[in-house]
Structure 1
Amino acid sequence: MKSHQTTQSMKPATAAKKLGVYLPATPAEFQEGVVTRAELNEMQANPPAWLSELRENGPHPRPVVAAKLGVSIAGLARGGVTDALTTEQIEALKAEMPEWLQKERATQAEVRKEGARLKKRDAERAQQKPQH
């Protein structure tokens, strides 16, 4: 029996997510087609001009906006940010530093601090276990 490799392809939404871009801002041919694994890898290695432009200036999808602001996606929603934002809009929010953003950044910092504490605790417990 002979095996042949099939070409893996994905929907544009999946490819956009993997590329970290906002799907509605991508070119029509990207939105309407399918993307193979090889094409995705090529775009990541050698981004076309439209991809570089989107990554630099946006609009950015919520996970990217949240990361750039230092908050969680849920924190964005609590702050009333439900749409994609451009880099310029993100920078304006950082400069303005509204109360909700300060609060969400502090919450995120606490979450990270607690995560680090638990990781350290688990590592210490693992070292204390007797080896068989």
Structure 2
Amino acid sequence: MSAPKQQTMKPQTAARKLGVLLAATPAEFQDGMVSREQLSDLQADPPAWLAELRRTGPHPRPEVARRLGVSVSGLARGGVSEPLTTAEIKALLEEMPPWLAAERRTQAEVRQENARIKARDAERAQQLES
């Protein structure tokens, strides 16, 4: 009986799961398939290149959006389509252009509404159990 085949993923998928930009990773990472075991090892004990990428970037759009406190759609509306470094993100936060302030307000309102709906649904579920 043969051993089960190890599951692998494309480098793009692994980079997304690690929260880094594939183009900024080392060539050996970009060129090969990544096993689930390798991904777990990278997450548990990141090598220097991964730690540096996570710290300074360039960061993919979902990470830029998270760090700016806006949605990915909000980035697009603000004209940000390229990956940004940590320094560029900090500069944007310090400058706080009007589009960023508006998108952060929108994102805060969305979070408040989601919290309200979650609380309402929890209350309804509790009433149904009673």
Give structure 1 regions of 4+ aligned residues with deviation exceeding 4 angstroms: none
AA at the equivalent of 1:92: A
AA at the equivalent of 2:92: L
**Cα-Cα RMSD:** 1.1
Distance apart, 1:105 and its partner CA:
0.2
Distance apart, 1:3 and its partner CA:
6.6
**Deviations along 1:43-87, whole A, 9 cap, x unmatched?**
111111110000000000000000000000000000000010000
Unaligned regions of 5+ residues in structure 1, if any? none
1:22 has 2:25 as partner:
no
Distance apart, 1:119 and its partner CA:
0.4
1:129 aligned counterpart, secondary structure: helix
Change in 2 beyond 3 A, CA 1:121/1:34: same
Distance apart, 1:4 and its partner CA:
3.1
Unaligned regions of 5+ residues in structure 2, if any? none
Partners in 1 of 2:43 and 2:123 — Cα distance?
A: 39
Partners in 1 of 2:4 and 2:113 — Cα distance?
A: 45
**Deviations along 1:79-114, whole A, 9 cap, x unmatched?**
000010000000000000000000000000000000
% same residue: 65
Matching residue of 1:91: 90
Matching residue of 1:117: 116
Matching residue of 2:78: 79
Partners in 2 of 1:102 and 1:57 — Cα distance?
A: 23
Matching residue of 2:102: 103
AA at the equivalent of 1:105: R
Using structure 1 for the length normalisation, give the TM-score: 0.95
Partners in 1 of 2:91 and 2:70 — Cα distance?
A: 16
Partners in 1 of 2:88 and 2:108 — Cα distance?
A: 23
Distance apart, 1:130 and its partner CA:
4.9
AA at the equivalent of 2:16: K
AA at the equivalent of 2:101: Q
Change in 2 beyond 3 A, CA 1:6/1:99: same
Structure 2 counterparts to residues 5-84 of structure 1, below 5 A: 5-84=4-83
